[in-house]
Amino acid sequence: MKTLNLKALMASRGLTHAGLARHLGCSNALVNLILNYDKWPKGYGGPAVVKERITEYLVANHVDLPSLAIAFNEAPQGLRANAALAMAAQAADSGPQESNQPEDDYMLLRKHRLTREAKQHFRLPRDPFNEEMDTDEDVFVTDDIRYVRSSMRQTAKHGGLLAVTSESGGGKSTLRKDLHHWINNQHEPISVIEPYVLGMTTSERRGQPLLAADISGAVIRQLAPGTPLRNTKDRAAQMHGILRESARIGRKHVLIIEEAHDLATPTLKHMKRFYEVEDGFRKLLAIILIGQTELEHKLSEHNPEVREVVQRCELVRLPPLDNHVEGYLRHKLARIEVDFDKIVEVNAVDEIRSRLRMSVMETRRGTREARNVSLCHPLAINNLVSAAMNEAVKIGAPKINAGLIAAAART
């Protein structure tokens, strides 16, 4: 296998495959081909243009000239580890480094749906892993998930400021839908306000940030449809009056912001003011922020810009399903009245857990150290098992086993 020095160079600087892919505007798979096999695309302007853009990316991340000079050379087999260590030593004195988060190609497997042949082969009346949520009974619940679900319901009903985080595919949107279902089914007098967040970014340079005035407007439009919005200066008072009138006839209100990790810091700071909208002792607006784990960094107690929000916000995280993979799959199959034991070999569960774990390098206080990360989130499990079941059809296997899970993980 022909590997470039570029791979060790990026690892030493904490630069991810996903970050390079975003810079090039290509897939993670293409970056892996370049780094691991010295395979270059014919598109994207050809190898010369791609190398030039990679060089731009390295320069922007403070890679020194000697390292740039050898970046595209083949890494000698016996010297790869030493080269990586040498580059890491050079990197220690350099400038800011990109955060080494798990790469996107590991975060979630490619989307897989069960083929018609797979559903017939395993006698499944419908796909248990795609568009399968119809009622709250379809939601798989562990003690951790039950706590997060209860926290969301209690915040919506009794008030508060709550932040819910997980990795992508960790079940946040499922619990948001579950909250809607609970409010409707229990006939709770709760109005849900959800600002439009499609295309939301942290700054105007990158897209359209969600501003405090946008949130006030969303509250007004939800509670008093057709009411003309006042100018930005007077809109907060207009919102306050409408919330007060709604509360006095027995309504409660919860503001839910998805993709909250993309909130600009000024808007995040304004959450304190929304939270403190009151009528006497009664707070008028509960707030639930839902986002990926980057939201935790924004709400860190070490971030002085948002300390007033942090002091008032409960932060809960949906953990991976490490010890619940079998229970999760049993639940999914039981919901379509299919016996887990007739489809899944016991060894497949351990293989799923193993394949959805990885080690990432992080820099802490100037020291590089490995950290084990579990990616056993619902969407990743769904994709891996669906892919394995599709593979099983090709060889006529009656069940999915560890070998098929391993094969699916490599597709």
208 phi, psi to nearest 5 deg: -115, 105
Distance CA 309, CA 265 (A): 11
Element holding 191 (H helix, E strand): strand 190-193
199 phi, psi to nearest 5 deg: 85, 5
List the domain boundaries for the chain: 5-98, 105-132+321-409, 143-317
> Mean per-residue pLDDT for 151-156?
97
The answer to whether the predicted template modeling score (pTM) of the entire model surpasses 0.85 is no
Please name the residue that has the structure tokens 């799959």.
329
Token pair for 124? 């499944």
Give the per-residue pLDDT at 200: 67
- C-alpha 395: how far from chain center: 34
Helix boundaries (H) for 92-231: 104-107, 116-121, 143-158, 172-185, 212-223
CA dihedral sign, ordered 225, 227, 232, 235: negative
* 103-138 pLDDT, tens digit each: 343 444 678 889 999 999 999 999 999 888 888 899
Say what percent of the chain tops pLDDT 90. 54
Give the per-residue pLDDT at 313: 94
Say what percent of the chain tops pLDDT 70. 85
Contact (CB, 8 A) for 312 and 161: yes
Distance CA 79, CA 84 (A): 8
Q: How far apart are the first and last CA of the chain?
A: 19
CATH architecture of the domain formed by 143-317: 3-Layer(aba) Sandwich (3.40)
Neighbours of 364 (CB within 10 A): 8
* 56-87 pLDDT, tens digit each: 888 888 777 667 777 888 765 444 444 443 44
Residue 266 contacts by C-beta under 8 Å, 6 or more apart in sequence?
Answer: 211, 212
Burial class (CB in 10 A: 0-12, 13-18, 19+), 40: middle
* 231-267 pLDDT, tens digit each: 988 999 999 999 999 999 999 999 999 999 999 899 9
Phi-psi group of 76: left, alpha or beta (phi > 0 → left; psi -120 to 50 → alpha; rest → beta): beta
Distance CA 262, CA 411 (A): 31
pLDDT class of 94 with cuts at 50, 70, 90: very low
Following DSSP, what letter does each residue of 216-264 receive, concatenated? Answer: HHHHHHHHSTTPPP--HHHHHHHHHHHHHHHHHTT-EEEEEESSGGG--
> Mean per-residue pLDDT for 369-379?
83
- C-alpha separations of 13 from 61, 156, 253, 266, 368 in Å: 8, 44, 47, 31, 10
CA dihedral sign, ordered 53, 54, 56, 60: positive
Q: Which of 202-206, 241-245, 394-398 has the least mean pLDDT?
A: 202-206
